[in-house]
Amino acid sequence: MKRLVTIAEFPTTFDIKYSLLKDMLERAEIPYLEVNENMRGLKPFPISPSNISIEIKVYEEYLEEVIKILESIK
């Protein structure tokens, strides 16, 4: 079974690094999963949206390549 690893967290979808990371993952054809990207836009919500971060997850097998991508956008 493949294991997903959280590689980055963002407070909002408007973060430029969020958009850049997604674009670079797509160009490198690395499959990724976004967690909570729709939860940030819900209002009203019983839990404060500021407590929810958007996570980008990738399969562990792509981790080495993803680390290089992350280092290039810092």
Would you say the pTM of this structure is higher than 0.85? no
Full domain range(s) for residue 22: 4-52+61-73
Q: How many domains does the structure of the chain reveal?
A: 1
Low-confidence ranges of the chain (pLDDT < 70): 38-51
Q: Are 36 and 53 in contact (CB under 8 A)?
A: yes
| Structure confidence at residue 53 (pLDDT) | 83
Distance from CA of residue 18 to its chain's centroid? 7
Strands, DSSP E only, in 1-74?
4-10, 32-35, 54-59
